[in-house]
A = this chain, B = another copy of it.
Amino acid sequence: MRLVYMDYSATTPVKEEVLQEMLPYFTEKFGNASSIYSTGRQAKHDMDAARKRIADHLHCVPEELYFTSGGSEADNWAIKGIAKARKSKGNHIITSKIEHHAVLHVCETLEKEGFDVTYLDVDEKGLVDPKAVEAAITDQTILITIMYINNEIGTIEPIVEIGEIAKKHQIIFHTDAVQALGNLRIDLSELPVDLMTFSAHKVYGPKGVGALYVRKGIRIPNLIEGGAQERRRRAGTENVAGIVGFAKAVEIAYDQFDEHVERLVSLREKLIEGLIAAIPDTRVSGDRDQRHPGNVHVCFKYIEGESILLSLDMVGIAGSSGSACTSGSLDPSHVLMAIGLGHDIAHGSLRLTIGDFTTEDDIDYILEQLPPIIDRLRRMSPLYEEAKGAK
């Protein structure tokens, strides 16, 4: 059966060149990067080189990047860390209703511990309004955390404006850039951002590796304490293979950046337009312009997402409904609720995300397979029946 992977925002395969660069670190070059002998020093050297390779592409200093076990850890560390470090200055945090759960759940926990959190509304395209950010600031505000690109509907947030506001009010600004890495050029020498979260497995690197950027001069307490790794900021024997793979993946992403974006955007537009044309009552979510190059997010009225996914899976198409992280629960996604969709529409959501291995043929195949699936499910649905009756 033909296999069409359309869930690059959930995770990506490790690119062959990335894997090749990782391999020696499992077996020959396996030394502990904290050790003094040659294999250890070699590991440390290559790990620090990896840090520099990534820093160069993001235009920051290598010492501002700390490796973590992924995006979730980095989000937890950043937010809990700033909350703890600046507790004496205030107890108010500003975020949005459409953040990843790694941000939202941390904020909810902080609320239980006495912090006040403002969860900003977004408009129908998922955009946070910088004016609303500024209006929410109080003299207690210590942190603003707004994501760079939403993982579900692909909307790119106005983080430059938000960051400028944070700067003006001397408030720390964190952004979850997990979906932005490799899909937007990120220039940390220009961006008004204090902390930024990254994850390797969204850019053709390995799972279980990420990084937190912490601008020089900002101190946060450790989330994982113990050994002196990562300049004493993040304990645990370093995953050198993963870190080197991460660096290679970032390099490839930015070396081939223009071509990557152009290809993805063209496939994305073809798919969105094709779906609108072929399937009635299709609603495109998110902003059509300020959008992740590979994100296609649509809602099909009257039917439920999981049954779409299962049907797609049976013809070899892998998609998601809401964030991959939450698809275990299949509750209507908080993001779709926040952009004002009714439950009936939100439940019928489908996210297809395009990546570097997606072809024109894949898009054609989806446009051929999906319409009859939607039709079949709708004909089984009591809601469709009612809607038709009403017309």
Contacts and interface: CB of A to CB of B under 8 A. Distances in A.
A64 B312 CA distance: 34
Contacts of A10: 32, 34-35, 40, 237
A18 to B, nearest CB: 8
B34 A325 contact: yes
18 contacts: A3-B39, A7-B32, A7-B35, A11-B237, A13-B27, A13-B30, A70-B237, A72-B225, A73-B236, A75-B226, A101-B225, A102-B224, A102-B227, A105-B226, A109-B225, A228-B328, A228-B329, A237-B325
Nearest to A207: B239
Contacts of A22: 26
A235 B109 CA distance: 14
Contacts of A75: 226
Contacts of A105: 222, 225-226, 235
B35 A69 contact: no
Q: How many copies does the complex hold?
A: 2
A173 interface: no
A49 interface: no
A30 B11 contact: yes
A319 interface: yes
Given A76-B226, A208-B242, A229-B325, A237 B37 contact: no
